[in-house]
């Protein structure tokens, strides 16, 4: 059965609680925008495209909450709510992109009554969600073209149906290659410290019946050096104009090793992950998360609490290390700036 990480029905946003997988598959209901903001911040929902769509539904819930107010007040409250939702996590640009799209609808319809704006917002959020699924399926088809028959693929973090509205980005390409009979094998990094690879990617791979092996992150360089990996596929949280790509911490290390041993390294991401406003990765804000994610494992303390911890959630892979960026509009290669600009709508 298809995984539904996000579902909006009867004015309720239902999210699979990704903090609890794979041991428990529980759905959390968000009825207010503040609950949505918390769900994004606390990573009940995570993955760049998924938090973009969740943010858009958060705006719908805010509009529902305030639509009984006089118009000016409605617009003021809604603007404050949008700001709060967009700030829930700082690195994945899909969140800001989705909220900006919703704000575009508000601004273009300021002459309507609150209820009219609310209805249009609900339609826009649905469109964002539907378009994400379509983009993932298109990326999967493009990406499958560069997957050799019998390839062994290394992936990092979780980029599957859970990280998107459906199907997945890098994991979507893997699913497509498997579905089309390419007899692929997958190595999935566990992805310390939050273990998205072990908890989420492994769960999705097992469900799909894709031959896979879970590895500690530090095993990946040895596999690459020993010629055991044909292709690295990762997702992205923000791509700068020059192709520099922020993705889950550990991606940069993989890209360096892949380059050293001439293993193709592809980023798979929709155009909504490109930040056309920034020139390079140096301008990407990298989220730093709670020290407890490092001092504790599964709730158990493993380090002295007095120790200083540095816990960036993402790193930036320089464009020189990237063979290509697989988008729904095709595969982008160097020169990245020139080719990325062609994708701008």
Q: Which residues contact ligand MRU by CB under 6 A?
A: 46-49, 92, 157, 159, 163-164, 169, 196, 235-237, 247-248, 313
Q: Give the residue with the Cβ less far from ligand MRU, 247 or 255.
A: 247
- Exactly one of 132, 217, 237, 315 is catalytic; which is it? 237
- The distance of closest approach from Cβ of residue 276 to ligand MRU in the complex, given in angstroms and rounded to an integer, is 18
Q: Are residues 11 and 64 in contact, defined by beta-carbon separation less than 8 angstroms? A: yes
How big is the chain, counted in residues?
A: 345
Q: Give the residue with the Cβ less far from ligand MRU, 224 or 234.
A: 234
CB-based burial label for 339 (10 Å; 0-12, 13-18, 19+): middle
Closest-approach residue to ligand MRU (CB): 235
Q: Are residues 237 and 274 in contact, defined by beta-carbon separation less than 8 angstroms? A: no
- The first and second tokens of residue 105, run together, are 């609808």
- The distance of closest approach from Cβ of residue 289 to ligand MRU in the complex, given in angstroms and rounded to an integer, is 8
Q: Are residues 343 and 332 in contact, defined by beta-carbon separation less than 8 angstroms? A: yes
- The distance of closest approach from Cβ of residue 215 to ligand MRU in the complex, given in angstroms and rounded to an integer, is 17
Strands (E), 137-289: 152-155, 185-189, 212-215, 231-234, 238-239, 245-248, 265-268
- The distance of closest approach from Cβ of residue 47 to ligand MRU in the complex, given in angstroms and rounded to an integer, is 4
Q: What is the CA angle 339-340-341, rounded to 5?
A: 90
Is-catalytic flag, 237?
yes
Q: Give the residue with the Cβ less far from ligand MRU, 109 or 283.
A: 283
Q: Give the residue with the Cβ less far from ligand MRU, 102 or 233.
A: 233
Q: Which of the residues are catalytic?
A: 237
């Amino acid at each position: 059965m298809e995984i539904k990480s996000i579902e909006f029905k009867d004015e309720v946003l239902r999210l699979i609680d990704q903090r609890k997988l794979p041991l428990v598959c529980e759905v959390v209901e968000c009825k207010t925008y503040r609950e949505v903001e918390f769900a994004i911040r606390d990573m009940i929902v995570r993955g760049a495209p998924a938090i973009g769509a969740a943010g858009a539904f958060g705006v719908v819930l805010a509009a529902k909450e305030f639509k009984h107010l006089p118009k000016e007040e409605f617009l003021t409250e809604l603007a404050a709510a949008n700001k709060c939702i967009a700030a829930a996590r700082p690195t994945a640009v899909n969140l800001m992109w989705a909220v900006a799209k919703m704000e575009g609808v508000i601004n273009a319809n300021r002459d309507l009554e609150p209820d009219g704006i609310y209805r249009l917002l609900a339609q826009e959020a649905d469109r964002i969600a539907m378009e994400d699924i379509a983009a993932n399926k298109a990326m999967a088809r493009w990406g499958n073209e560069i997957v050799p028959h019998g390839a062994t693929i290394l992936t990092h973090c979780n980029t599957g149906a859970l990280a998107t509205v459906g199907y997945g980005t890098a994991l979507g390409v893997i699913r497509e290659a498997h579905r089309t009979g390419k007899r692929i094998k997958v190595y999935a990094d566990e992805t310390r410290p939050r273990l998205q690879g072990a908890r989420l990617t492994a769960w999705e791979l097992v469900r799909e019946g894709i031959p896979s092996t879970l590895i500690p992150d530090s095993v990946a360089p040895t596999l690459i050096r020993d010629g055991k990996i044909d292709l690295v596929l990762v997702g992205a949280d923000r791509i700068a104009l020059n192709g520099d790509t922020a993705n889950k911490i550990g991606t940069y290390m993989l890209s360096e090793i892949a380059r050293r041993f001439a293993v193709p390294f592809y980023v798979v991401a929709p155009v909504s992950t490109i930040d056309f406003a920034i020139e390079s990765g140096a301008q990407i804000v990298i989220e730093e998360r709670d020290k407890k994610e490092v001092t504790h494992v599964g709730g158990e303390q493993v380090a002295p609490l007095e120790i200083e911890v540095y816990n960036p959630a993402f790193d930036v892979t320089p464009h020189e290390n990237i063979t290509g960026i697989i988008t729904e509009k095709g595969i982008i290669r160097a020169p990245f700036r020139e080719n990325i600009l062609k994708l701008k709508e």
